[in-house]
Amino acid sequence: MPELPDVETFKQYFQKTSLNQPIKKADVENKKILADTSGSNLKKELEEKKFDEAKRYGKYFFASIKNSSWLLFHFGMTGELKYFKNLEDKPSHSRLLITFENGYHLSFDCQRMLGKIDLIQNIKEFTKKKELGPDALKINLDEFKKRMQNKRGGIKSALMDQKTIAGIGNTYSDEILFQVGIHPKEKVKNLDEKNLEKMFNKMKKILETTIDKKADPEKFPSSYLIPERKKNGKCPIHNIDLQRIKVIGRTAYYCPKHQQKK
């Protein structure tokens, strides 16, 4: 589920594999993933050019096309990047296929097609238009507290609101709340400054740790909730069944023992 740590991992992968390599071909294999551009336009923009920079903001990834626009990726729920040599290794839901002069390929694989690709001129303008809040990795404590203190609803929906903070989704909001011991439906208003500061620190630590582990739950510390976010999952601290509830239409997992409402 591409949230900030997953997208950051894609960015690092892209930097390692696809930067500064002359592009030979670019083919859109399914037009549904295109936002505001056409397949022929994308082809024209990419072929015989190269990527010279990679950036991330929240859950969005941007690849700079040298002397031209930015190629924007949003991964939706099932999007990912794959770099490979032989076409037989092409992922099964490849929607955009880029072929480099060196013979390797980069594919935007997106099974459910909830992802999007677009061309944009300016990242700042884009994030402004989307009204995205500060990136969760970059936001400082004061800004975090200020933004949270303006929220009236529940804490999980506040953490997932991209206009409040950009980058946290359903999975990682569960992890943050699990580690600070707060119920997903707790009203933000009921949290004091100390709660918010602890939450801020945990959020940063979780993002840094999971990026370091390349967003792979199998490599996460055994004290983490995420690997247990499944049917019959247990709290790694208390070894009891996790609770499953709906919060804003999303499934939230939490420990009924150490995440009780105030």
- What is the separation, in whole angstroms, between the first and last Cα of the chain? 30
Q: Identify the bridge partners of residue 145 per DSSP, sorted by sequence position.
A: none
Tell me, residue by residue from 103 to 142, as one string, x for binding to DNA by CB under 7 A and - for no binding: --------xxxx---------------x------------
Q: Given the complex with DNA, which of 46 and 162 has the nearer CB atom?
A: 162
> Whole-angstrom Cα distance, residue 157 to residue 84?
38
Q: Give the residue, chosen from 74, 105, 147, 183, that forms a contact with DNA under the rule CB under 7 A.
A: 74
- Output the DSSP codes for 88-139: GG--TTEEEEEEETTS-EEEEEETT---EEEEES-HHHHHHHTT---BTTT-
Of 8-16, 47-55, 148-156, 201-209: span binding DNA (CB under 7 A):
148-156
Our CA dihedral for 253, 255, 256, 257, rounded to 10 degrees, sits at -170
Dihedral in degrees, nearest 10, Cα atoms 100, 101, 103, 108: 10
CB of 41 to DNA, least distance (A): 20
- Min dist CB 112 to DNA, Å, is 4
The answer to whether residue 93 forms part of the interface with DNA (CB under 7 A) is: yes
Backbone angles phi, psi at 135, to 5 degrees: -60, 135
Under the binding rule (CB under 7 A), the answer on residue 77 touching DNA is yes
* From 39, 153, 217, 236, residue interacting with DNA (rule: CB under 7 A): 153
If one asks whether residue 15 binds DNA (CB under 7 A), the answer comes out as: no
Where along the sequence are the contacts to DNA (CB under 7 A)?
A: 1-3, 32, 58-60, 74, 76-77, 92-93, 111-114, 130, 150-154, 157-158, 160-162, 169-171, 229, 244, 246-251
